[in-house]
C-alpha cells in the first residue's frame, strides 16, 4: 500500500465474520533462527507474512551465502531481527555490517553487545557507542560460558542469547538480575527450542543450556495473538460483534494471549471452539481499575485506546519498555488520544487515564510515528467516531500486511487519500 493516508468509516457498526490471521511474527522470527542454526534439520510451517519476518529471512540467506567480503545487512525497522542477528552473526564465518533505519540506530543494543563480548564475540560500533550499526566478525571462539544480564530490559536480548546457546562450544548460563520483564517471550523461546530437541534448565533466576544438536522436527507457527488483539478491539467497539479467528491455541506460547482475560473487562467474551476462537460482544460490567502490561507490553496501545473511547478511567503499569520501541509509544499515545479529549498522565511508573473530556471530534486524524501498532490500535475507532484518518497506513506491513483488506472484509469503508 502506497497511499499517504486512509479514511475509515463503518456505516453499520455491526461485525460478523471469520478472519484468518497470519502466523505469529514472534514465533516466526525465532523459528527462522532455529532453522538456520539447525542446518536444515528443523522445518517451519505457517511462517508469518509480516515484513519483519520477510526481512529476517532474507538477511539470514545473505549471511550464510558464503564469501569473504564485508556483507552489509540492513534490517530496516525490524527490531527483533536486529537483536536476533546481533547474536546469530557471531556464529557465521564472515564479516558483517548490521544496520537499520534512522530510528533503529537510536534504539539501544549495548546490553546485548556487552553480553556477547563477554563470551568472546568480536563486535564494534560503527558510529555511536551502544547503538547500531554494528561491525561483527563471525566465527567467534567462545570464552566465558556464564553471563549476567538485567531482567528489566528488552526480553529480546535474553531470547537472542538463548537461541544461540546450544550452538556454543561450552553452552551458556544466563543469570538474570532483578525481575524479568516480558517473561512469556523468554518462555516462548525456551519452549520452541525444546520442540526441536534442545533441553534447558530454568531455576530461580538462572537459565542453563548445554551444547546440543537439534533434531529433525517441524515448527508449526501459531497465528498471531498480537494481531488478534485488534479484533478484540473491533468487537468491543462494535454495536454487535462476533468474530471467529481460526487456529489460535488455548495453551498458546504467546504472551499476548493475555488479551483473552483483559478484554473480559471491556465487553468481549472468548470461547475456543472447533472452528476457532470466537469473540463475542457482551454487556460491560467491570470495576477493574489497574492493568499491568509487564508480561505483554505489545497490547498496551490497543487497550489504552479502547479504554479511552469507552471512558474507563483506569491505570496502567508495566509500560517501561514502550519508550524504546518503534517510537516512544507512551508519547505517541498521549499525543493521539488527546485529539479526542483523553489524557494519559504519568505518576512514576504508573499511568492514569482520564476520559471525562472524551468526545467525537468529527474528523479524527491519527499520526502513526512509523509504528505499525499505532495504526492498528486506532483504526477501530471508526466504529465509534464519524470518520478516522490514518496517516502512513503502510506501516502495518511490518506485522500484519492484510490488516486493511481484513477490515474491508468486515464492513469498514476505506478511502485512499
**Do 222 and 27 touch, CB atoms closer than 8 A?**
yes
In angstroms, the Cα distances linking 3 to 81, 336, 372, 390 are 26, 20, 15, 10
CATH of the domain at 140: 3.65.10.10
Confidence of residue 2 (pLDDT cuts 50, 70, 90): low
User: Do 17 and 32 sit in the same domain of this protein?
Assistant: no
User: Do 14 and 97 sit in the same domain of this protein?
Assistant: no
Q: 205, 220, 235 — which closes off a domain?
A: 220
CA dist 323 and 328 (Å) reads 4
Q: 195, 220, 245 — which closes off a domain?
A: 220
Q: 166, 193, 220 — which closes off a domain?
A: 220
- At 311-338, the pLDDT tens digits run 999 999 988 877 766 678 989 999 999 9
User: Do 157 and 226 sit in the same domain of this protein?
Assistant: no
CA dihedral 133, 224, 50, 41 (to 10 degrees): 80
User: Do 381 and 409 sit in the same domain of this protein?
Assistant: yes
User: Do 45 and 187 sit in the same domain of this protein?
Assistant: yes
Residue 90, number of CB atoms within 10 A of its CB: 24
Instruction: Spot the catalytic one: 118, 298, 328, 347.
Output: 298
pLDDT at 166 over 90: yes
The total domain count for the chain is 2
pLDDT at 16 over 90: yes
User: Do 226 and 205 sit in the same domain of this protein?
Assistant: no
User: Do 29 and 118 sit in the same domain of this protein?
Assistant: yes
What SS3 class is residue 366? strand
- At 198-252, the pLDDT tens digits run 999 999 899 999 999 999 999 999 999 999 999 999 999 999 999 999 999 999 9
Known catalytic residue: 118? no
Enclosing domain of residue 293: 5-23+222-416
User: Do 19 and 72 sit in the same domain of this protein?
Assistant: no
User: Do 175 and 36 sit in the same domain of this protein?
Assistant: yes
- At 36-79, the pLDDT tens digits run 999 999 999 999 999 999 999 999 999 999 777 899 999 999 99
Q: What is the pTM of this model?
A: 0.85
User: Do 233 and 197 sit in the same domain of this protein?
Assistant: no
User: What integer is the mean pLDDT of 81-110?
Assistant: 95
Buried b (16+ CB within 10 A) or exposed e, 198-222: bebeeeeeebbbbebebeeeebebb
Burial class (CB in 10 A: 0-12, 13-18, 19+), 394: middle
CA dihedral 381, 383, 389, 394 (to 10 degrees): 80
pLDDT at 352 over 80: yes
User: Do 71 and 152 sit in the same domain of this protein?
Assistant: yes
User: Do 62 and 167 sit in the same domain of this protein?
Assistant: yes
Amino acid at each position: 500500500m502506497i497511499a499517504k493516508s486512509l479514511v475509515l468509516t463503518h456505516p453499520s457498526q455491526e461485525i460478523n465474520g471469520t478472519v484468518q490471521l497470519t502466523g505469529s511474527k514472534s514465533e516466526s522470527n525465532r523459528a527462522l533462527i532455529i532453522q538456520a542454526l539447525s542446518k536444515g534439520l528443523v522445518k517451519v510451517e505457517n511462517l508469518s507474512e509480516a515484513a519483519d519476518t520477510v526481512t529476517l529471512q532474507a538477511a539470514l540467506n545473505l549471511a550464510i551465502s558464503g564469501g569473504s567480503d564485508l556483507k552489509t545487512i540492513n534490517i530496516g525497522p525490524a527490531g527483533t531481527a536486529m537483536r536476533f542477528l546481533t547474536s546469530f552473526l557471531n556464529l557465521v564465518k564472515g564479516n558483517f555490517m548490521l544496520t537499520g533505519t534512522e530510528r533503529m540506530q537510536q534504539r539501544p543494543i549495548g546490553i546485548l553487545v556487552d553480553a556477547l563480548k563477554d563470551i568472546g564475540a568480536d563486535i564494534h560500533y560503527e558510529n555511536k557507542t551502544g547503538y547500531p550499526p554494528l561491525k561483527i566478525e563471525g566465527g567467534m571462539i567462545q570464552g566465558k560460558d556464564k553471563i549476567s544480564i538485567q531482567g528489566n530490559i528488552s526480553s529480546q536480548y535474553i531470547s537472542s542469547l538463548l537461541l544461540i546457546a546450544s550452538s556454543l562450544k561450552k553452552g551458556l548460563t544466563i543469570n538474570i538480575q532483578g525481575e524479568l520483564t516480558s517473561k512469556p517471550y523468554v518462555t516462548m523461546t525456551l519452549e520452541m527450542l525444546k520442540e526441536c530437541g534442545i533441553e534447558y534448565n530454568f531455576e530461580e533466576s538462572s537459565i542453563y543450556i548445554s551444547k546440543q544438536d537439534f533434531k529433525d522436527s517441524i515448527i508449526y507457527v501459531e497465528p498471531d495473538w498480537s494481531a488478534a488483539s485488534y479484533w478484540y478491539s473491533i468487537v468491543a467497539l462494535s454495536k454487535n460483534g462476533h468474530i471467529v479467528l481460526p487456529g489460535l491455541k488455548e495453551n498458546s506460547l504467546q504472551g499476548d494471549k493475555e488479551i483473552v482475560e483483559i478484554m473480559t473487562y471491556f465487553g468481549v467474551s472468548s470461547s475456543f471452539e472447533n472452528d476457532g476462537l470466537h469473540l463475542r460482544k457482551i454487556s460491560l460490567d467491570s470495576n477493574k481499575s489497574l492493568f499491568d502490561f509487564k508480561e505483554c507490553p505489545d497490547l498496551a496501545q490497543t487497550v489504552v485506546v479502547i479504554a479511552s473511547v469507552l471512558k474507563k478511567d483506569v491505570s496502567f503499569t508495566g509500560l517501561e519498555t514502550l519508550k524504546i520501541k518503534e517510537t516512544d509509544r507512551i508519547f505517541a499515545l498521549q499525543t493521539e488520544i488527546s485529539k479526542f479529549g483523553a489524557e494519559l498522565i504519568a505518576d512514576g511508573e504508573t499511568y492514569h487515564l482520564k476520559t471525562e473530556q472524551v468526545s467525537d471530534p468529527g474528523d479524527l486524524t491519527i499520526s502513526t510515528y512509523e509504528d505499525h501498532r499505532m495504526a492498528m490500535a486506532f483504526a477501530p475507532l471508526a466504529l465509534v467516531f464519524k470518520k478516522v484518518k490514518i496517516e502512513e497506513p503502510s506501516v502495518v506491513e511490518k506485522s500484519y500486511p492484510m490488516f486493511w483488506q481484513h477490515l474491508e472484509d468486515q464492513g469498514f469503508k476505506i478511502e485512499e487519500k
